[in-house]
Amino acid sequence: MTTLLSKRLAPLIDHAVLAPLATTADMEDACHKAKIAGLASVCVKPWMVLGAAAILKGSGVVASTVIGFPQGGMHPRIKLAESAQALADGARELDMVANLGWVAGAEWTKVADEIRSIAELCHRTGAKLKIILETCLLNDEQKRKLCAVAAATGADFVKTSTGYATAGYTIDDLKLMRESVPEHVGVKASGGVRNLAQAVALLDLGINRIGTGSTWAILEEAAKG
């Protein structure tokens, strides 16, 4: 049962290598472990993508990275260029922070245009786009609207958090997000997933992806029972 649990969890996990002092060696170690565990992806800093993609090639685990991280306020052309470089380097999934200033100011046309341009770029290469809401900074109306805009403009997932704001995911936010997007759009929980109990609760909730830097501890706990 515990082995089955770890096998159910592993394909949902995006293992994060995003700490400020994360090194090339940290990335390489994570990628080798991810191949053995059968994770969904290893989410690395943009400068690590080339190396991660090389290690993960042919494994079924993809290289993913962050765009506009962590506050989303870069110029749209910079975010588009960053996305293009990541895809050229081998990233198959991009986790992009929405422009939170536009969200706060209800400048939804700008939000939509930015997401659409990057979604189209991703889809031309068979890659996927996740939109990070940073839920702890938004009210419920903003969360619902951003989810709806993301879904309408081609996002493949909506994601709670960067893990670098004042708080991470909550169950209430995940339920709100699931209700705010169609079934074909995935929901990713991120920011504060640190133990097996939390991961199992997300599994039971039907969450499509889990972002965490505590992957090995969670899977080891699952294997031990």
Query: Hey, what amino acid is at 123?
Result: H
62 contacts 34 by C-beta, under 8 angstroms: no
Active site residue 159: yes
Q: What is d(CA 186, CA 170) in angstroms, rounded to the nearest whole number?
A: 16
Residue 95 falls in the annotated catalytic set:
yes
Residue 224 annotated in active site: no
DSSP string, the chain: -HHHHHHHHGGGEEEEE--TT--HHHHHHHHHHHHHHT-SEEEE-GGGHHHHHHHHTTSSPEEEEEESTTT--S-HHHHHHHHHHHHHHT-SEEEEEP-HHHHHTT-HHHHHHHHHHHHHHHHHTT-EEEEE--GGGS-HHHHHHHHHHHHHTT-SEEE---SSSS----HHHHHHHHHHS-TTSEEEEESS--SHHHHHHHHHHT-SEEEES-HHHHHHHHHH-
- Which is catalytic among the residues 14, 79, 159, 173? 159
Options 79, 128, 130, 188, the catalytic residue: 188
Q: Which of 95, 128, 130, 156 is catalytic?
A: 95
Pairing relation of β-strands 41-44 and 13-17? parallel
Active site residues: 95, 159, 188
